């Protein structure tokens, strides 16, 4: 069963449709939620208050995966309720890319990270999506393989934020330049390496598919 076919999503999609929400509106809400998640991550570096910082980590850990849920629901509403829009593909893809960048760049500004790592992860995540889109244009099937497709990125950032929300502050830094990097920096590095592997896998699989069907 595909994740979009799970009852929790189909029932939620039906409820959203009854409430009058279109797929494009759901995509826009998801974009706002994604930006909020990125701001929550970045805001952790703007306060020295440990309690406030932990609240921000919890907010990020809650909001980041919700953005992913909205990205699933817009497609489920469009397909299951047969209310697809002529510009639905744009609403499905563009806000998702912006949300991805907001999450990763925000993580780069978070405590224990470095902006260059966030921007690097965002660029590589965009490249992964670009490879998928170009493979589809070339005639290959849609390929969402990992290991660092969007669900993997969302999961890693969510788990990292949750861990940072509950662990002692003394555990959160201690490596990298001036010992100022922490778990979030490590998470972004893992995402970057994973994105390179994912892009390479998708290119290989698309090339294999195209060569087979050219024979």
Which pLDDT value is given to residue 88? 73
Burial 119-150 (b: 16+ CB within 10 A, else e): bbbbebbeebbebbeebeeeebeebeebebbb
**Contact by Cβ (8 Å): 156, 69:** no
The model's pLDDT over 42-66, given as tens digits with 9 standing for 90+, comes to 999 998 899 999 999 999 999 999 9
The model's pLDDT over 164-193, given as tens digits with 9 standing for 90+, comes to 999 887 777 665 666 667 899 999 999 999
Residue 202 vs residues 92, 94, 99, 154, 187: alpha-carbon distances, Å: 20, 20, 22, 19, 22
Query: pTM to 2 decimals?
Result: 0.90
CB-based contacts of 142, cutoff 8 Å, min separation 6? 132, 136
Mean pLDDT of 126-142: 90
Which pLDDT value is given to residue 90? 85
Which pLDDT value is given to residue 205? 94
Which pLDDT value is given to residue 188? 97
Whether 127 shows a pLDDT value over 80: the answer reads yes
Q: Say how many C-beta atoms besides its own lie within 10 A of residue 20's C-beta.
A: 7
d(CA 43, CA 173): 17
Which pLDDT value is given to residue 86? 80
Provide the mean pLDDT of the chain: 88
Q: Which residue has the tokens 């489920």?
A: 76
Mean pLDDT of 160-165: 95
- Percentage, residues of the chain above pLDDT 70: 93
Whether 1 shows a pLDDT value over 50: the answer reads no
Helices 23-43 and 88-109: angle between axes, nearest 10 degrees:
10
CB-based contacts of 136, cutoff 8 Å, min separation 6? 142
Of residues 9 and 163, more confidence is placed in 163
- Is the domain spanning 3-214 CATH 3.30.565.10? The answer is no
Mean pLDDT of 74-93: 79
Q: Residue 181: what are its φ and ψ, rounded to 5°?
A: -90, 155
pLDDT band at 2 (very low <50, low <70, confident <90, very high): low
Mean pLDDT of 15-37: 89
| Cross-strand partners of 25 | none
Poorest-pLDDT segment among 2-11, 41-50, 66-75 = 2-11
Which pLDDT value is given to residue 174? 63
Q: Say how many C-beta atoms besides its own lie within 10 A of residue 166's C-beta.
A: 10
Poorest-pLDDT segment among 4-13, 15-24, 93-102 = 4-13
d(CA 113, CA 91): 31
């Amino acid at each position: 069963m595909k994740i979009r076919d799970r009852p929790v999503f189909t029932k939620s999609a039906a409820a959203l449709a009854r409430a009058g929400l279109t797929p494009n509106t759901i995509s826009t809400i998801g974009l706002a939620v994604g930006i909020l998640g990125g701001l929550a991550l970045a805001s952790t570096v703007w306060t020295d208050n440990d309690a406030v910082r932990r609240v921000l980590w919890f907010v990020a850990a809650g909001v980041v995966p919700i953005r992913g849920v909205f990205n699933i629901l817009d497609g489920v509403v469009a397909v299951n309720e047969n209310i697809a829009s002529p510009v639905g593909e744009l609403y499905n893809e563009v806000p998702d890319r912006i949300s991805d960048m907001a999450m990763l760049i925000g993580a780069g500004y978070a405590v224990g990270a470095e902006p260059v790592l966030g921007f690097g992860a965002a660029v590589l995540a965009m490249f992964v999506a670009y490879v998928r889109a170009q493979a589809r244009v070339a005639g290959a099937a849609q390929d969402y393989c990992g290991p660092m497709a969007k669900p993997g990125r969302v999961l890693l950032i969510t788990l990292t934020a949750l861990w940072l929300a509950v662990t002692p502050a003394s555990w959160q830094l201690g490596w990298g330049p001036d010992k100022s990097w922490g778990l979030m920096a490590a998470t972004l590095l893992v995402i970057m390496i994973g994105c390179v592997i994912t892009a390479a896998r998708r290119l290989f699989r698309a090339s294999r598919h195209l060569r087979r069907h050219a024979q």
